[in-house]
């Protein structure tokens, strides 16, 4: 007969179980991501835009900031074009290669969460890392070829350098190494997506509570470094960098949108909130220490973006940084609650890992189906063949991967076109003239065309050639194809696809 495990042995087995569950969640994410990596087409309608910027960064860099909206400038900043530029030399293999890069920056975020929670214990750090990506329906977003994923990773790595030990005077100070690393990461994050500034602001402001000298040095280095970077970009682009970023001022507001986004996020992220509140309740006897927990800075940074949720076109992805922030805070408060309580030593890590596993089992990671792939094959095959036979150029109001397929710079970003056309933004007149003259041989349309002359020119010079219901991470949407009237090139929809012919 085997001897009963000793209490120490049972504890080690329990630790191994918690670690196994956490690792299982992480591996489940990787398995789902691998399925997406193998998909040869876009999974968000704007992914082709970022690939195009990467290709233009190598081939036609002057067009990225050319004081015109045609071709569409790099309005998000140079971060993504620089990241993707080397991959675009692979042609259409750039998309799976970029998806593999997305898995790397997602893994980097999980590693950063582990290291930020590691002071609470390695097991808690591992559970927090699993929790940070466990809501697959939300966290799968970082696998898209968009700036959100690298922005979150840079924010978390900046927090590793800049997060104080505690939010109390004299608890910490910034050495030269942390100051340099933190500043570099903050500047890189800002160049990847401008909303990074809001997420990162509390990392800077927190030092006014901890060490005024560190706060002054950090602020000074950031101001000087940021001014130098912007000046260099303005010089290199002849003033085009700030001009292109002005597109965000053209977006209107949408009343009620913040409430919808916050309700959507609360419905899906409530387990994260519940974990944090439970940890705080257990640590309430040490609430003075709990309320000085530096991880609160991360939560504040995630929430600072809320005022931007009213911007037309804003979505729940703005709130994604909240998930890793809450995972780190739950781990740290959980460790505080268990400190000095031997019976609770394993409870925080086990609870977080269990919730993470339940989320991973119940939240679907959106991945393409074989039908989605057959449909996209037919759609992009038609776009490529039409352009080969007609010579192009094309106009695509989403998905912008159509431009990448035919080797053409993005004429116009679909969701901005109406706002830019209504304001007479420079470059839009080129599109109107080309529509009126029939210069485009094919028009691809997910978003509506601006009204008035644009719609009239399209109706006069183009005829419906078919279309497909393409699937993306958010669902399936109809994308219509219009051929020039003198080019009788119509889609013959293959069987087993969601495509239709002319007039359908």
Task: Return d(Cα 236, Cα 52) in angstroms, integer.
Answer: 20
Same domain, 280 and 313: yes
Same domain, 321 and 381: no
In a domain, 81, yes or no: yes
Task: Return d(Cα 74, Cα 81) in angstroms, integer.
Answer: 8
Same domain, 436 and 415: yes
In a domain, 463, yes or no: yes
Q: Using the 8-state DSSP alphabet, how is residue 311 labeled?
A: B
Question: Is the pLDDT confidence value at 251 over 80?
Answer: no
In a domain, 47, yes or no: no
In a domain, 50, yes or no: no
The string of pLDDT tens digits covering residues 55-105 is 999 999 999 999 999 999 999 999 999 999 999 999 999 999 999 999 999
Same domain, 385 and 291: no
Same domain, 394 and 350: no
Same domain, 380 and 348: no
Instruction: State how many domains the chain has.
Output: 2
In contact, 336 and 259? CB cutoff 8 Å: no
Residues 6+ apart with CB under 8 A from 427: 68, 69, 70, 412, 420
pLDDT confidence band for 248 (50 / 70 / 90): confident
Same domain, 166 and 229: yes
3-state SS, one letter per residue, for 133-185:
HCCHHHHHHHHCCCCHHHHHHHHHHHHHHHCCCECCCCCCCCCHHHHHHHHHH
Helix (H, G, I), strand (E, B) or coil at 465: strand
- Average pLDDT value for residue range 406-431: 93
Residues 6+ apart with CB under 8 A from 36: 43, 99, 140, 143, 365, 367, 368
| pLDDT given for residue 3 in this prediction | 59
| pLDDT given for residue 10 in this prediction | 82
Question: Is the pLDDT confidence value at 237 over 90?
Answer: yes
For residue 427, how many other CB atoms are within 10 A of its CB? 18
Q: Which of 314, 335, 362 is the last residue of a domain?
A: 362
In a domain, 64, yes or no: no
Same domain, 263 and 153: yes
The string of pLDDT tens digits covering residues 109-119 is 999 999 999 99
Same domain, 298 and 422: no
For residue 49, how many other CB atoms are within 10 A of its CB? 28
In contact, 83 and 99? CB cutoff 8 Å: no
In a domain, 44, yes or no: no
Instruction: Identify the CA nearest to 64 among candidates 82, 46, 91, 47.
Output: 82
In a domain, 126, yes or no: yes
Q: Which of 311, 345, 362 is the last residue of a domain?
A: 362
Instruction: Identify the CA nearest to 449 among candidates 420, 476, 427.
Output: 420
Q: What are phi and psi of 177, to 5 degrees?
A: -65, -50
User: How many angstroms separate the Cα of 23 from the Cα of each of 18, 126, 276?
Assistant: 9, 8, 21
| pLDDT given for residue 1 in this prediction | 45
In a domain, 492, yes or no: yes
The β-bridge partners of 8 are none
Same domain, 162 and 262: yes
Q: What is the CA radius of gyration of the chain?
A: 25
Q: Using the 8-state DSSP alphabet, how is residue 461 labeled?
A: H
- Average pLDDT value for residue range 114-134: 96
The string of pLDDT tens digits covering residues 300-352 is 999 999 999 998 888 999 999 999 999 999 999 999 999 888 778 899 999 99
Edge-first strand listing for the sheet containing 442-445: 394-397, 442-445, 475-484, 462-472, 499-500
Task: Return d(Cα 480, Cα 464) in angstroms, integer.
Answer: 7
- Tokens encoding 386: 């039409």
- Tokens encoding 4: 């009963």
Same domain, 357 and 376: no
Question: Is the pLDDT confidence value at 46 over 90?
Answer: yes
Same domain, 196 and 222: yes
The string of pLDDT tens digits covering residues 196-233 is 999 999 999 999 999 999 999 999 999 999 999 999 99
Instruction: Identify the CA nearest to 444 among candidates 487, 489, 385, 380.
Output: 380
Q: Structural domain of residue 267, as residue ranges?
A: 7-38+75-362
pTM value is 0.96
Helix (H, G, I), strand (E, B) or coil at 191: helix
Average pLDDT, the chain: 95
Q: Which of 319, 338, 362 is the last residue of a domain?
A: 362
Residues 6+ apart with CB under 8 A from 220: none
- Average pLDDT value for residue range 465-474: 97
């Amino acid at each position: 007969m085997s001897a009963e495990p000793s209490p120490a042995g049972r504890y080690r087995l329990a630790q191994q179980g918690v670690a196994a569950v956490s690792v299982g969640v992480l591996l489940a994410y990787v398995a789902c991501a691998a399925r997406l990596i193998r998909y040869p087409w876009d999974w968000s309608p704007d992914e082709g835009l970022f690939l195009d910027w990467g290709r233009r960064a190598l081939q036609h860099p002057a067009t990225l900031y050319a004081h015109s909206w045609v071709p569409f400038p790099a309005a998000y900043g140079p971060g993504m074009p620089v990241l993707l530029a080397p991959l675009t030399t692979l042609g259409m293999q750039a998309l799976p290669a970029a998806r593999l890069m997305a898995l790397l920056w997602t893994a980097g975020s999980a590693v950063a969460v582990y290291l930020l929670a590691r002071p609470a214990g390695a097991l808690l750090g591992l559970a927090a890392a699993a929790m940070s990506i466990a809501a697959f329906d939300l966290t799968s977003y970082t696998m898209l070829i968009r700036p959100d994923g690298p922005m979150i990773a840079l924010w978390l790595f900046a927090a590793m350098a800049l997060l104080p030990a505690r939010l109390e005077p004299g608890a910490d100070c910034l050495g030269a190494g942390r100051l340099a690393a933190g500043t570099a990461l903050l500047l890189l994050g800002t160049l990847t997506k401008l909303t990074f500034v809001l997420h990162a602001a509390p990392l800077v402001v927190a030092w006014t509570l901890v060490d005024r000298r560190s706060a002054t040095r950090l602020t000074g280095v950031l101001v000087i470094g940021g001014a130098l970077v912007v000046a260099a970009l303005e010089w290199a682009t002849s003033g085009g960098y700030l001009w292109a970023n002005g597109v965000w001022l053209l977006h209107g507001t949408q009343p009620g949108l913040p409430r919808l986004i916050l309700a959507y996020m609360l419905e899906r992220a409530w387990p994260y909130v519940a974990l944090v509140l439970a940890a705080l309740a257990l640590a309430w006897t040490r609430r003075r220490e709990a309320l000085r927990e530096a991880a609160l800075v991360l939560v504040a940074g995630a929430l600072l973006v809320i005022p931007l949720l009213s911007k037309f076109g804003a979505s729940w992805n703005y709130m994604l940084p909240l998930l890793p922030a809450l995972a780190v805070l739950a781990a740290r408060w959980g460790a505080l609650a268990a400190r000095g309580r031997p019976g609770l030593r394993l409870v925080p890590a086990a609870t977080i890992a269990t919730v993470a596993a339940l989320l991973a089992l119940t939240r679907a990671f959106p991945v393409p189906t074989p039908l989605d792939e057959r449909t996209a094959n037919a759609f992009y095959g038609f776009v490529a063949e039409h352009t080969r036979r007609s010579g192009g150029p094309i106009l695509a109001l989403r998905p912008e991967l159509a431009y990448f397929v035919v080797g053409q710079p993005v004429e116009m970003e679909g969701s901005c076109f109406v706002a830019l056309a209504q304001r007479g933004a420079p470059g839009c007149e080129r599109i109107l003239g080309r529509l009126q003259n029939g210069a485009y041989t094919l028009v691809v349309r997910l978003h509506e065309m601006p009204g008035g002359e644009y719609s009239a020119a399209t109706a006069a010079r183009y005829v419906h050639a078919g279309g497909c219901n393409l699937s993306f991470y958010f669902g399936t949407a109809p994308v219509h194809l219009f051929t020039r009237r003198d080019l009788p090139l119509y889609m013959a929809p293959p069987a087993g696809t969601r495509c239709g012919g002319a007039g359908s």
